[in-house]
A and B are shown apart, each in its own frame.
Chain A
Amino acid sequence: DTEVTQTPKHLVMGMTNKKSLKCEQHMGHRAMYWYKQKAKKPPELMFVYSYEKLSINESVPSRFSPECPNSSLLNLHLHALQPEDSALYLCASSPAPQGSYEQYFGPGTRLTVT
């Protein structure tokens, strides 16, 4: 089973709202990732969690706040977003943080900021 689940599938929020995206995997993977994908573009790395600790933050604005409550869950808290933050937000996981291990992606959350 290589399934990564994400909720919600779609989210519309205003610029003053606070919302959260959720990602879950039950494959025992110890690295989890958030990517942002704009239309007709490749995914761009935002955050990497390794053994539940934030290891990489690719200069993402503070209005995006990641959280890894346990090894199976990854959240992305959103606050005071801008319309240009509208995108597909993808979560991925891989078996181990080090080495060249495959990453498995979830279906994504389509976010629209109005």
Chain B
Amino acid sequence: GENVEQHPSTLSVQEGDSAVIKCTYSDSASNYFPWYKQELGKGPQLIIDIRSNVGEKKDQRIAVTLNKTAKHFSLHITETQPEDSAVYFCAAHLSGGGADGLTFGKGTHLIIQP
């Protein structure tokens, strides 16, 4: 099965600075990599995703990069704001013959210091 490692477990940055969260995956057959933001008491919210045929994707202050050779992908948040404080999960989807769930990393608690 797939195994996803995520680092760091906690990240504290000053408001306005950038934040980077990194993940590695084990199975080269994985082909879809979403990122979720989870605020306290809420379900995970899909914020950006990338497919294995793309190297980078950007959506306003958020970007994701994928290096298939090294089997790692990263989330970049620029100009961080207090509302970015949350737990962020990376995930990998192993495409098989049918429906599959996601394998998640352990999560990064992002703290934006005012």
The residues of A with any CB-CB pair to B shorter than 8 Å are 2, 4, 6, 31, 33, 35, 40-45, 48-50, 55-56, 58, 90, 94, 97-108
Contacts and interface: CB of A to CB of B under 8 A. Distances in A.
Interface of B: 31-32, 34, 36, 42-46, 49, 51-52, 89, 93, 95, 97-107
Nearest to A105: B43
A18 B51 CA distance: 41
A98 B98 contact: yes
B46 A42 contact: no
B43 A33 contact: no
CB-based closest 4 A-B pairs: A100-B32, A45-B101, A97-B99, A42-B104
A58 B42 CA distance: 24
A105 B31 CA distance: 20
B99 A31 contact: yes
Nearest to A42: B104
Contacts of B49: 102
A103 B99 contact: no
Contacts of B44: 43, 90, 105
A107 B38 CA distance: 10
B95 A41 contact: no
B62 to A, nearest CB: 15
